[in-house]
Amino acid sequence: MTLEPEVLARVESGVGRLTLNRPKALHALNLSMCEAMIEALLAWRENEAVKSILIDHTGERGFCAGGDIRMIAESGAGDASAARAFFDTEYKLNHLLFDYPKPVTALVDGVVMGGGVGISEPADVRIATERTTYAMPETGIGLFPDVGGGWFLPRLPGEVGTWLALTGARLKAADTVFLGIHSHYLPTDALEAFRAILAADPAHPVDVADGLEADPGEPPIEPHLPAIDRLFAHDRVEDIFAALDADGSDWALAQLAVLKTKSPQSLKVTLRQLRAGRGLDSFADNMAMEYRLGGRVVRTHDFQEGVRAVIVDKDNAPQWSPATLEDVSDAAIDALFAPLPDEEEWSPLV
């Protein structure tokens, strides 16, 4: 019995194609998948026959639901060496895509979360469909929005990235295109036409997408943007909670109720990550920050407990520790962000 590769890499009509092929796991990324994509991208980088890159997936359920969380949790329960090795490689892939010298297109058709955001947000053309559901839900499992979240989320309009990161809110295509998370909307039945026209003009995926794009409809998020910008502008999570409570509207209280289910430690880590990321000069600096965080956060109680509650036992009743924002000390957060020894710091591929 021959196992199909988890990433299908080939060149077709001038397009370097990377197709995620782990449908039963919603194409959740593992180390070997990241390594396979890096290998192909490096081989195609100087290949003049390859004009652009296309990332898509097999099946219909989702683009990529994240990373291999069970593996990361099992590693974090020990010395976290396997988790760090995964983060190191995954972040090298994210950075390679971010700096890639040829146009990259991601067909984000279906669920895109976590690791899937990491390989689609760096793309020049990011196509959503009616099946797209976008979220960065990491605070609900004691983690933080990594894979470049510290870079991309603060650069969305106003404070919407802060709201997305803290609440884990799920968006459909009308919102993601409106906010610029995705660059184009195409109905699913137009994707084959996109691939066909791209094969005839592989160097200009933006033009192909522009020619086919459709209207995703009115964005439900738009009326809430003034409230998001006002209520999520604070630099302390406690102040965001207080602002939502004082606002008292149904929408604000609904956000507050969601936030109260999240890991207090993760909320504080995430807000500091986004505020720091907003001021960084390079994507590589952001990934180095996230690598420091990743190797440490996966060893914390809250990540282990979040994975148990949401992914393993599925009781959705995590017991966070510390249980309140007030009990999460600045010193504990400082320690998670502290520099690593020089020889252990993350660096991009040469």
The whole-number pLDDT of residue 3 equals 82
Q: Which residues contact 121 (CB under 8 A, 6 or more apart)?
A: 148, 152, 181
**Two tokens, residue 344:** 């252990």
At CA 119, angle to CA 116 and CA 125, rounded to 5?
110
Kindly report whether the global pTM for this prediction surpasses the value 0.75: yes
Please report whether residue 1 resides in a domain. Answer: no
Please report whether residue 349 resides in a domain. Answer: no
Please report whether residue 70 resides in a domain. Answer: yes
Work out how many domains the chain is built from and give that number.
1
Please report whether residue 166 resides in a domain. Answer: yes
Please report whether residue 2 resides in a domain. Answer: no
Please report whether residue 36 resides in a domain. Answer: yes
**Two tokens, residue 44:** 């195609």
Please report whether residue 48 resides in a domain. Answer: yes
Could you list the pLDDT tens digit for every one of the 350 residues in the chain? 568 899 999 999 999 999 999 999 999 999 999 999 999 999 999 999 999 999 999 988 889 999 989 999 999 999 999 999 999 999 999 999 999 999 999 999 999 999 999 999 999 999 999 999 999 999 999 999 999 999 999 999 999 999 999 999 999 999 999 999 999 999 999 999 999 999 999 999 999 999 999 999 999 999 999 999 999 999 999 999 999 999 999 999 999 999 999 999 999 999 999 999 999 999 999 999 999 999 999 999 999 999 999 999 999 999 999 999 999 999 999 999 999 999 999 999 98
CATH of the domain at 52: 3.90.226.10
Residue with tokens 């320690």: 335
Show which residues are catalytic. 67, 115, 138, 146
Please report whether residue 140 resides in a domain. Answer: yes
The whole-number pLDDT of residue 350 equals 86
Distance CA 29, CA 90 (A): 8
Give the DSSP letter string of 246-301.
Answer: HH--HHHHHHHHHHTTS-HHHHHHHHHHHHHHHT-S-HHHHHHHHHHHHHHHTTSH
Distance CA 228, CA 62 (A): 28
Domain that holds residue 151: 7-344
